[in-house]
């Protein structure tokens, strides 16, 4: 079975390796070309809120109350993106909205 393409604005479960766990993240990067590095940039979602100005609140069916933390940006190969949780939203900025 072909692997789904990781697309900007989608929420995926990401395998962060042995040091951390599988966590939801919103995809920031656009599709890469053949001559570019095969990396996907993401922002992690957290339920351990600290009420900082770097947190973007996110509430959606199937998720505990939480936020995307702009201080938790990273890049991983697409193979580490395990499963899509939410399709791209209709939000023009490409980020999931409160109703996503």
Write the CATH number for 62: 2.30.30.110
- Cα dihedral value 54, 25, 16, 66, nearest 10: 60
pLDDT tens per residue across span 82-100? 999 977 655 544 455 544 4
Any idea what DSSP says for residue 92?
A: T
Residues 28/44, Cβ–Cβ less than 8 Å? no
Give the chain's domain count. Answer: 1
On whether residue 44 sits in a domain, the answer given is yes
Residue 25 lies in a domain: yes
Question: Does residue 99 lie in a domain region?
Answer: no
Q: What is the pTM of this model?
A: 0.80
Note whether residue 3 is domain-resident. Answer: no
Q: Residue 36's domain spans which residues? A: 11-86
Q: How distant, in Å, are the alpha carbons of 27, 32, 52, 81 from that of 23?
A: 12, 23, 20, 10
Answer yes or no: is 74 within a domain. Answer: yes
pLDDT surpassing 50 at residue 81: yes
Would residue 5 count as lying in a domain? no
Condensed to tens digits (0 to 9), the pLDDT of residues 27-64 reads 999 988 999 999 999 999 999 999 999 999 999 999 99
Supply φ then ψ for residue 38, to 5 degrees: -85, 80
3-state helix, strand, coil in the chain (%, to 5): 5, 40, 60
Rounded Cα distance, 17 and 52, in Å: 26
Average pLDDT over residues 13-24: 91
């Amino acid at each position: 079975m072909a692997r789904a393409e990781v697309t900007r604005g989608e929420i995926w479960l990401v395998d962060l390796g042995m040091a951390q766990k599988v966590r939801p993240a919103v995809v920031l990067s656009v599709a890469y070309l053949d001559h570019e590095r095969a990396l996907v940039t993401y922002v992690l979602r957290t339920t351990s809120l600290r009420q900082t100005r770097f947190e973007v609140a996110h509430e959606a069916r199937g998720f505990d109350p939480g936020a995307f933390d702009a201080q938790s940006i990273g890049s991983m190969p697409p193979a580490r993106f395990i499963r899509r949780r939410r399709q791209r939203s209709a939000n023009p900025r490409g980020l999931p909205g409160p109703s996503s």
